[in-house]
Structure 1
């Protein structure tokens, strides 16, 4: 017997009872999640430092405060999000009520990743609760200290009849996925995403896949190079490069590279000092397996800045590579570590063509003092998100969706988009029992006269057009 079937049976019974549907219940659960973030903040900070050597500053802005903003945004707007949305009607339904009902989906599964183990686990949870679902949360076992805080702490705040945390590695997750869920939300690698998708297909379960990709960062010759370098260095080496929307590589001309390099060097020194290993603001790779994979990428191109490593500490210094080739591993796989390759092209057009030839990334960036250049990159490339003249900052807006396109994933969340992801938009039409004579137009035996009247009552005509007969 599947080890999770009993727990899931209880969750489904709770959902079928309608317990999670009232807005008062949803708000109570969201408020409890907010208290968890407040009251367990020190425990969360300690766990994040143990797992990733993440500083309290980064833990606050990218994990706890980020998630708390989502809770507040949802509490502030849940009443309006849940309201029936009344829609336009045609002549045939003029006296009826047409609307979209925001229904919960059911029992949903959230599988999170290790790199931002609070943010990636709890932001989807906010939307799932707000939408009225029962939830199974599977934190990443790789960030084990944070997993422990979530597993031990959340059940004391959230209703155990409608919420569960499960732990374990690939074997346990495989068993978990044998069960039927009504929605699956997965964040992680592309390879594991394919496994999740295959498991979901067996039950025809819809899902969101938040994957990754090689996020390009175009730097134009018309640019404030120091400002660009500051923002690139911050976004790239935040969380030791373990950020799915970090710039994976810089793409620019040789002339631009030569102007940018000393600015990158200056920014790295100002941010992390002469020895980044001693900086309290620079993190570590999550484990030795990740360290070995990222260290192997140092064999690509030439090390221009950094390159120091310490296996015993899972430490790789903030590093810039130059003279990299498209065929080398650092330009073929997602770096997901503190290594920034600079790939050179002749001009903007070649940069755009290079980006377009590759799988659509999760994010794309462009730096230029010329807005036309930034907009050209935006207009002629595809990516999950885009930010001009900065890094990661589009992620801070709860008003913008976050998600991939193509091989970087599908589906979106943050703010109302998370609520929408876990909500079924139910088309609803309420009609009266009277005026049956109007309905006879569509009943057999069919007549051409009735067809003309019926089409007149249901046809959609293009607006703003004048047709001369």
Structure 2
């Protein structure tokens, strides 16, 4: 066992959970450190993923700062016990839900949004009063280092600490008994995490992925294409809720592809490879995996690759259910276009796969919107846009089935990392002897009372 892991783990186990004042102080320190190191965070994200400053600030830095500010404004209200109704037979009584910390939380973060997806769960766990160990992704080494620097400089290690490393360190952490585990990544590793958690009956959240569809029946193909280009190729397609494939009527394909080409040029110029706003694939292994999915005979747009720069251009390909690209989540800048004759056919196609993390539908009528919402089960759904639901802290973000379990952001994070403890306070006044033995002559009366109360 790594001595550093043991030291940090034991120090946190021995520390009391955080008071309201502790939590606010910790979050203020974290906020100050993030602001002070903004340029370092931007540089790290550029080094790991070639993220533009705009994408990095919007989806990583500001996302975290917004979450901290929300918690600072709302935490006292969230922490307040929630009073609920007490049953009449037990009056006088007061019933409440109390939110208490689990204790010690392990956060295992991914590489695609390596700063945000480490820090936002940390914020939620601290808001709920927990101590936290964060394991950043070793696949984004520059960002892993800056996360370590931010947390180490801002917070005491008995409150929050970072363990860097790879599979070995993660395995060692999973052998320890945490009170809650939060994992973001793929389903294969998610099963390993869940099996490890099961040994200690540790509750957990799994934020996974899946093949998130974009259904198109709208007459407004131009705006649909624009919003899909933005949502798909943000972070070079390496987003868990990016549109994974298109379902569209054959008659609309030409106009949709023409509009997509127009916006790709408008966003990234004719020379996309030279654009400062277009990212790169995380590493050679993922580059090779994605490149192998490109069928040159099926390319509608793009198809250009350069391994020396880990560059894959925005690529649209014709596909069907039997295509190799339709077997698993793509997680890159490749977008299959699948023909569908009707909205009903599209819905049945989506339902033939596991439940996705997100579903997008570009439709015109209220009836179509209602049908999609009621027919398709997914972690989240956006009508007539892509990925923007993540920006609303009043909406829970999480998966269902193969796309994950548990949801967070805003108050949902606070509740996720809190145990909702049931508390009933009874009085010594007005004792009701009906519940005490002997019961023989009480059954008829109890039935009548229960019927009146039901």
* TM-score (ref. length: structure 1): 0.94
Secondary structure of 1:399's match? coil
**Separation in 2 of the partners of 1:140 and 1:191?**
16
Shift of 1:41: 0.7
Aligned residue number for residue 464 of structure 1: none
Question: Which of these residues, 150, 158, 167, is aligned with residue 147 of structure 2?
Answer: 150
| Matching residue of 1:445 | 438
Q: 1:72 deviation in Å?
A: 1.1
Q: In 1, are the aligned partners of 2:245 and 2:336 still within 8 Å (CA)?
A: yes
Greater Cα offset, 415-424 or 369-378: 369-378
What pairs with 1:67-82 in structure 2 (closer than 5 Å)? 67-82=64-79
In 1, distance between residues paired with 2:276 and 2:219?
A: 31
The equivalent residue for 2:226 is 230
CA contact (8 A) 1:442 1:450 kept: no
Deviation string, structure 1 residues 53-79 (Cα, Å, up to 9, x no partner)? 000000111111111111111111101
Q: Deviations over 1:253-290 (max 9, x none)?
A: 10121221100110111111111100000000011111
Aligned to 1:465: none
Q: Name the residue aligned to 2:393.
A: 398
Equivalent residue pairs, number = 453
Contact 1:223/1:367 (<8 A) preserved:
no
Q: Is the 8 A contact 2:281 2:287 kept in 1?
A: yes
Structure 2, unaligned runs of 5 or more: none
Q: Which residue of 2 aligns with 1:242?
A: 238
Partner of 2:286: 290
Contact residue 300 and residue 330 of structure 1 kept, 8 A: no
1:459 to 1:313, Cα distance in 2 relative to 1, 3 A: farther
Q: Is the 8 A contact 1:250 1:341 kept in 2?
A: yes
Q: Distance in 2 between matches of 1:455 and 1:408?
A: 48
The change in CA–CA distance for 1:321 and 1:402 in structure 2 (over 3 A counts) is same
Secondary structure, counterpart of 2:150 in structure 1: helix
State the partner residue of 1:270: 266
**Following TM superposition, by how much is the alpha carbon of 1:82 offset from its aligned partner in structure 2, in angstroms?**
0.3
CA positional deviation for 1:460: 4.7
Call closer, same or farther: CA 1:458–1:429 in 2, change over 3 Å: farther
CA–CA separation in structure 1 for the residues paired with 2:447 and 2:142? 65
1:13 corresponds to:
14
Aligned partners of 1:67, 1:460: CA distance in 2, in Å? Answer: 48
State whether residues 383 and 404 of structure 1, in contact with CA within 8 Å, keep that contact through their aligned partners in structure 2. Answer: yes
Pairing partner for 1:257 from 253, 260, 268:
253
Please give the secondary structure, in 1, of the residue aligned with 2:189: helix
Counterpart contact for 2:151–2:160, Cα < 8 Å: no
Contact persistence 1:218–1:351 (CA under 8 A): yes
| CA RMSD between the two structures | 1.5
Per-residue deviation, residues 172-196 of structure 1 (Å, max 9, x unmatched): 1011100000000000011010110
Partner of 1:92: 89
Distance in 2 between residues matched to 1:371 and 1:149, nearest whole Å: 47
2:340 aligned with 1:345: yes
- The Cα of 1:370 is off from its aligned counterpart by 2.3
Contact 1:49-1:55 within 8 A present in 2 as well: yes
- Are the structure 2 counterparts of residues 8 and 355 from structure 1 closer, same or farther at C-alpha, using a change threshold of 3 Å? same
Alignment check: 8 A CA contact 2:209 2:404 kept: yes
Q: Kindly provide the CA deviation profile for residues 192-249 of structure 1, in whole angstroms up to 9, marking residues without a partner as x.
A: 10110010011110100000000000011x3211111110000000000000000000
Tell me, in whole angstroms, the C-alpha distance in 1 between the residues paired with 2:344 and 2:296: 25
Matches within 5 A, 1:193-208: 193-208=190-205
* Structure 2 counterpart of 1:317: 313
TM-score by length of 2: 0.97
Aligned counterparts of 2:173 and 2:158: Cα–Cα separation in 1:
18
Q: Does 1:329 align with 2:324?
A: yes
Instruction: Compute the displacement of 1:301 (Å).
Output: 6.1
- Tell me, what secondary structure is at the counterpart of 1:448? coil
Aligned to 1:62, which of 23, 39, 59?
59
What stretches of structure 1 of length at least 5 have no aligned partner?
462-469
Structure 2 residue 420 is matched with structure 1 residue 425: yes
- Alignment match of 2:351 (pick from 350, 356, 359): 356
Q: 1:450 to 1:119 in 2, by over 3 A?
A: same
The match for 2:378 is 383
Change (3 A) 1:83 1:455: farther
Residue 404 of structure 1 deviates from its aligned partner by: 0.3
Q: Which residue of 2 aligns with 1:28?
A: 25
Moved more, 227-236 or 66-75: 66-75
The answer to whether the 8 Å contact 1:90/1:458 transfers is no
Instruction: State the SS of the aligned residue for 1:340.
Output: strand
What is aligned with 1:280? 276
Distance 1:278 1:300 in 2: 23
Tell me by how many angstroms 1:7 deviates. 2.1
Moved more, 365-374 or 182-191: 365-374
SS in 1 for 2:14: helix
> What is the SS of the residue equivalent to 2:134?
strand
Match of 1:41 in 2: 38
- The question of whether the paired residues in 2 share the 8 Å contact of 1:231 and 1:391 is answered with yes
